[in-house]
Amino acid sequence: MENSLISQSFKNAKKEKRPALLTYIVAGDNSKKKSLEILKSISNYADICELGFPHNTPIADGGQIQTSAYRAIKNGIKINDIFSIVNKFKKFKKNKPIILMGYYNMIYQYNEDKFIAKCKNSKVDGLIVVDLPHPENKSFAIKCKKSGINFIQLISPTTSKLRLKKIISDSHDMIYYISMLSTTGGKLKVSSKKIIAEYRKIKNHNKTKNVVIGFGITEKTIKSLKKADGLVVGSAICKEITRSIKRRQNVVTNVTNIVKRLKNKII
C-alpha cells in the first residue's frame, strides 16, 4: 500500500518539512449534514481526517469525545449514514485520506466482511479499532489490507519491547502512538521530550512507517511535538463543537479556525 493516499499525505507534509496534521471529529456530531460541512471545511488544513463512529459505551474516550458521541447517537446517526458522509466527502475531495475510528462491537454487529466492503466502496482509507488490539486484530488487519484499507495499529507507553516489534512488523503505512496513560482528551502529563524519545524508539525499528502521536494534543502542546511524522487532535476539536453549540455560534467557522491555528503552529 505504498502509494496509498495516507502515505502520500505524509510525503507531502515531509516535503514541506512539517508533521502531517490529523483531525478527529465524530460522525454525525451534531448532525449528519453539519459533520459533513465541518469535514469539508477543515480538510483545507488537515492532511488526514479521522471520523469517529460513535459508540455509547466507549471504554477509552474521555469526556469531550463521549459528549460528541452521545450527541451524534441522540441525533440518530447510523453506520450507513457514516459511509454516506464519507462517500459525499470523497466526491468533494477524492485525494484527502479518511480514517474511520471506533469500537469493535459496531463492526462485529455490521459484520466484518460487510463493513470492510462498505469501507472500500465509500473509499475509506484507513481504520482504527480501539478495542481490537494486537494480536487479536491480525486476521481483521489482513482482510483490511486485501481490500486496500490501512489497518492502523496502536502503540502505548505500556507496550513491551517484544510486542512493539511484533506490532510494527504487522503494521501497515501508519502507526498511532498514544502519548501517555490516559483516555482521549486528558491533560498532557508527560514531557514532550519523553514522548519524542518513545516515538523515536518506534521509528528506529522501522523508518519507513509513518508514526503519529495522539492524546493530549492541543493548541498549547502541538508545537512541542512537531518532530513527529504526524499529530492527531481530537478532543480539542470536539470541545470546540460543544462550546460553539452552547453559545449558538457557527460551529463550522469556529472549528475551522482552531484547525487553522493548529496548522500554523506546526508549519
Partner 1 sequence: MKLKKNIPLIDQHDKFGFWGGKFGGSFIPETLKKPVEDLTKEFQRLRKNKKFIKKRDYYFKNYIGSPTSFVKLENLSNHLGGAQIWAKIVSEANGGAHKIYNATVHALICKAMGKKYIVGDTGAGYAGKMLSMAAKKFGLKCKIFMGAKDIKRQKPNCDAMRKNGAEIVPVYSGSQTLVDAVSECMRYWVSNCDNTHMCVGSTVGPNIFVKICGWSTTQISRELKKQLMKEFKRIPKKIKLINCVGGGSSAYGFWSEFIDYNKKQVELIGVEAGGPQRSKLHAAPLSKNAKIGILHGAASYVCQNNEGQIHETESISAGLDYPGVSPIHCFLKDTKRARYTYANDEAALNAYKLVTKFEKINPSLEPSHAFAEAIRIAPKFSKDTIIIVNSCGDAKKDRDILKERLGKN
Q: Which stretch binds partner 1 (CB under 8 A): 9-17, 43-51, 107-115, 232-240?
A: 107-115
Of 45 and 104, the one with the shorter C-beta distance to partner 1 is 104
78, 114, 194, 200: residue in contact with partner 1 (rule CB under 8 A): 78
Give whichever of 3 and 158 is closer to partner 1, judged by the CB atom. Answer: 158
Count the residues of the shown chain that bind partner 1, applying the rule CB under 8 A: 40
Residues 139-158 binding partner 1 (CB under 8 A) are 154-158
Residue pair 159/205 in contact (Cβ under 8 Å)? The answer is: no
Contact between 66 and partner 1 by CB under 8 A: the answer reads yes
Shortest spacing between CB 130 and partner 1, in angstroms: 6
Q: Are 191 and 209 in contact (CB under 8 A)?
A: no
Q: Where are the beta strands (DSSP E) in 27-125?
A: 48-53, 98-102
Strand 210-214 relative to strand 174-178, pairing: parallel
Select the span of 20-28, 44-52, 57-65, 203-211 touching partner 1 (CB under 8 A): 57-65
Give least dist CB 233 to partner 1, A. Answer: 19
**182 vs 210 by CB, closer to partner 1:** 182
CB of 183 to partner 1, least distance (A): 5
The owner of cell 485520506 is 97
By annotation, the residues acting in catalysis are: 50, 61
- How far is Cα 117 from Cα 107, in angstroms, rounded to an integer? 12
Please select the residue that binds partner 1; options are 2, 3, 59, 248, rule is CB under 8 A.
Answer: 59
Q: With binding defined as CB under 8 A, does residue 186 bind partner 1?
A: yes
| SS3 of residue 128 by DSSP | strand
For the record, the C-alpha cell of 26 comes out as 465524530
Residue selected from 10, 24, 89, 103 as contacting partner 1 according to rule CB under 8 A = 103
Q: Tell me which of 75, 88, 104, 224 binds partner 1, using CB under 8 A.
A: 104
- The minimum distance between CB 13 and partner 1, in angstroms, equals 25
Binding residue for partner 1, selected from 163, 201, 227, 260, defined by CB under 8 A? 163
User: What is the CB-side half-sphere exposure of residue 37 using CA atoms within 13 A?
Assistant: 13
Q: Which residues of 113-152 are buried (b: 16+ CB within 10 A; e: fewer)?
A: eebbebbeebbbbbbbbbebebeebeebbebbeeeebbbb
Q: How far is the CB of 213 from partner 1 (least distance, A)?
A: 14
Residues in the chain: 267
CA 194 to chain centre: 22
What lies within 8 Å, CB to CB, of 7 at 6+ separation is 1, 173, 210
Q: Which stretch binds partner 1 (CB under 8 A): 28-36, 133-141, 220-228, 242-250?
A: 133-141
Residue 204: Cβ within 10 Å count? 8
Q: Which residues bind partner 1 (CB under 8 A)?
A: 55-62, 66, 70, 73, 78-79, 103-110, 130-134, 136, 154-160, 163, 178, 181-183, 186
